[in-house]
Amino acid sequence: MEGGRILVIGLTGGIGAGKSSALKVFRRLGAHVIDADKLARQAVRPGAPAWHEIREVFGKSVFHKNGRLDRGKLARAVFGNPDALSSLNAIIHPRVFEEEKKAIAMVGAKNKNAVVVVDAALMIETGSHRWKDLVVVMDSTPENQLKRLCSEGYTRKAALARIASQMPLAGKLKHADYAIENNGDMACLRRNASAVFAKILEDKGIMLRGSVKKA
């Protein structure tokens, strides 16, 4: 890679589009992966600044008795309420971005030629895609998203509401440098994700240890 600078890839897509599965493929092929959702969970651990702010804004009702945040109750509190959602995002997103950048810097300090993949569902919506070197979007039909969500325990009504609440796929794809089609089975997704990752490495002239492994 030119100048020995790490490559930061943003991976995003709608709910049920297969981001987590694609992320596993990228990890197997040699990428360092960062899950923004995990960073968000760390940001709201008991006693953390975001934990206190959420408690102040939303009250004790969105917490378990042991003090841990009840993510389900919080999600229901902000779902369909733009003002509440905006307040929550203002608390969590800046801290997640800060932790993302710290994690990327840590990787770069150890390996200046690394490839880092950041998985974040709201990457386009929050604007954090702008400081990624390139963006990969999961391309899946609403019908297939619905099937996956229902298989995970969502009711059809709840799954449709979740899909409808997010930015339409067409809007995300406008920002995509690469897209991973996910409308088949898991084996098909793994092949497609592997092919896209290989294409990125080829386009950027990168050779990673483990990048030739099959997904």
Per-residue pLDDT of 86-104, as tens digits, reads 999 999 999 999 999 999 9
> Across all residues in the chain, what is the average pLDDT?
91
Position 138 scores a pLDDT of 97
Position 30 scores a pLDDT of 94
In angstroms, rounded to a whole number, what is the distance separating the alpha carbons of residues 138 and 121?
10
In angstroms, rounded to a whole number, what is the distance separating the alpha carbons of residues 129 and 144?
25
**Helix axis angle, 156-165 relative to 142-151, nearest 10°?**
130
pLDDT bracket for residue 212 (50, 70, 90): very low
Query: Which residue in this structure is represented by tokens 């974040």?
Result: 120
Least confident of 29-43, 118-132, 195-209: 195-209
Q: Could you give the percent of the chain with pLDDT greater than 70?
A: 95
Position 215 scores a pLDDT of 40
In tens, the pLDDT along 114-164 reads 999 999 989 999 999 999 999 999 999 999 999 999 999 999 998 998 888
pLDDT bracket for residue 214 (50, 70, 90): very low
pLDDT bracket for residue 4 (50, 70, 90): low
pLDDT at 210 over 70: no
Alpha helix positions (H), 59-121: 71-78, 82-110
Query: Which residue in this structure is represented by tokens 């959702």?
Result: 37
Domains of the chain: 2-204 (3.40.50.300)
Position 209 scores a pLDDT of 57
Q: Are 37 and 93 in contact (CB under 8 A)?
A: no
3-state secondary structure of 134: strand
3-state secondary structure of 48: coil
